[in-house]
Amino acid sequence: EPEVTQTPSHQVTQMGQEVILRCVPISNHLYFYWYRQILGQKVEFLVSFYNNEISEKSEIFDDQFSVERPDGSNFTLKIRSTKLEDSAMYFCASKREHSYEQYFGPGTRLTVT
Amino acid sequence: GQQLNQSPQSMFIQEGEDVSMNCTSSSIFNTWLWYKQEPGEGPVLLIALYKAGELTSNGRLTAQFGITRKDSFLNISASIPSDVGIYFCAGPDPTSGTYKYIFGTGTRLKVLA
């Protein structure tokens, strides 16, 4: 059964450094998403991407964040200059056209020190 | 922004008991999704609901789309220890559609063997 995959599973970085989180969505899916979950809290929407452009973003997704689909399979989230409060689980999700069912990857735990 | 409130926030139950939880919104939703999240993992889609009044089952899980379209319910029958986790309701944002999904506050389930 196809799955969303994410790498790395855990990333530790120093404050001010850039990080890139990588995702491989399910192959026939066309809508891609990034979410954040601070420990013990709810899942928060960051950004969605469709047809090679950002379709929606939240207030959290400021100029420090960017997304890219560099090739036909990867979908990345970049944080330019990490802050302590960026420490969280980051989840990638994808869905097919004409479907509401969104499927999540296993997440990347980002720790900013 | 939109909020989905889940109740109860957490619950301890005995193995074999039935569990009920709900999710409410101040706005009408056209689709409800229920996810389960285990520690350190991504949310896993359990059930999707598309019509007011719809009742859908997945094994021991049954979910209902409330007739007001502002709520949804999840029941777990004869709970077992592996039902432990956080259950989230979610749905496409009523104003943004499938470009943005809103997640509920979660119900944390703990099963006592």
Task: Answer yes or no: do A100 and B98 touch at CB < 8 A.
Answer: yes
Pairing of strands A108-112, A10-13: parallel
A64 touches chain B (CB under 8 A): no
Collapsing DSSP states into helix, strand and coil, what is residue B83? helix
Per-residue pLDDT of B48-77, as tens digits, reads 999 999 999 999 999 999 999 999 999 999
Residues A103 and A35 sit within 8 Å (Cβ to Cβ): no
Collapsing DSSP states into helix, strand and coil, what is residue B82? helix
CA distance A9 to B43: 15
CA distance B37 to A87: 19
Q: Which residues of A touch B103 (CB under 8 A)?
A: 35, 42-45
Pairing of strands B71-76, B55-58: unpaired
Mean pLDDT across the stretch A10-37? 97
Q: Which of residues 68-87 of B touch A (CB under 8 A)?
A: none
pLDDT reported for residue B42: 96
Per-residue pLDDT of A27-83, as tens digits, reads 999 999 999 999 889 999 999 999 999 999 999 999 999 999 988 889 999 999 999
Tokens 């719809």 identify what position? Answer: B54
Mean pLDDT across the stretch B38-49? 95
pLDDT reported for residue A37: 97
Q: Is the pLDDT of residue B96 over 90?
A: no
Q: Is the pLDDT of residue A107 over 80?
A: yes
CA distance B1 to B102: 9
Task: Answer yes or no: do A105 and B42 touch at CB < 8 A.
Answer: yes
Q: Which residues contact B112 (CB under 8 A, 6 or more apart)?
A: B12, B13, B14, B15
Task: Answer yes or no: do B102 and A91 touch at CB < 8 A.
Answer: no
Task: Answer yes or no: do B88 and A42 touch at CB < 8 A.
Answer: yes
Task: Answer yes or no: do B103 and A101 touch at CB < 8 A.
Answer: no
Q: Which residues of A touch B90 (CB under 8 A)?
A: 43, 102
Task: Answer yes or no: do A102 and B42 touch at CB < 8 A.
Answer: no
A30 touches chain B (CB under 8 A): no
B38 touches chain A (CB under 8 A): no
pLDDT reported for residue B95: 87
Q: Is the pLDDT of residue B113 over 90?
A: no
- What is A12-40 written as a DSSP string? EE-TT--EEEEEE--TT--EEEEEEE-TT
